[in-house]
Amino acid sequence: SQTIHQWPATLVQPVGSPLSLECTVEGTSNPNLYWYRQAAGRGLQLLFYSVGIGQISSEVPQNLSASRPQDRQFILSSKKLLLSDSGFYLCAWATATDPSSIQYFGAGTRLSVL
């Protein structure tokens, strides 16, 4: 069966520090991968998606970047965190050939920028 792992679960970082969140998927090949952010009490905002190694599309301009160095690894990064980067970050995957687009989410990372 397929599983998705995200770490760390929680993170407290000072303003201006770098960020690296990692997501890996097991049990599937060539998945579509996604990074979302959820601010407190709000819906999910799609940040990045990837359909293959090295292929990254951004949905909103921001202080963040994403990379996909391996087929089942997706990394969210920042060189200098802002206070507004605080939130709940979620990684998700979907079967590339699935027309119904069901996405499966990781447990999330709670990021607090102080």
Partner 1 sequence: LAKTTQPISMDSYEGQEVNITCSHNNIATNDYITWYQQFPSQGPRFIIQGYKTKVTNEVASLFIPADRKSSTLSLPRVSLSDTAVYYCLVGARLSGYSTLTFGKGTMLLVSP
Residue 89 beta carbon to partner 1: minimum distance, rounded to whole angstroms:
10
Residue 33 beta carbon to partner 1: minimum distance, rounded to whole angstroms:
10
Residue 80 beta carbon to partner 1: minimum distance, rounded to whole angstroms:
26
Contacts to partner 1 by CB under 8 A: 32, 36, 42-46, 49, 51, 57, 88, 90, 92, 94, 96, 98-108, 110
Q: Which is nearer to partner 1, 16 or 59 (CB)?
A: 59
| Residue 2 vs residues 5, 59, 92, 106: alpha-carbon distances, Å | 10, 26, 12, 11
Give the 3-state secondary structure of residue 67. strand
Q: Which is nearer to partner 1, 3 or 79 (CB)?
A: 3
All residues at 6 or more sequence positions from 99 whose CB lies less than 8 Å from its CB, including other chains: none
Q: Which is nearer to partner 1, 9 or 15 (CB)?
A: 9
Give the CA-trace dihedral at 93, 91, 25, 113, to 10 degrees: 170
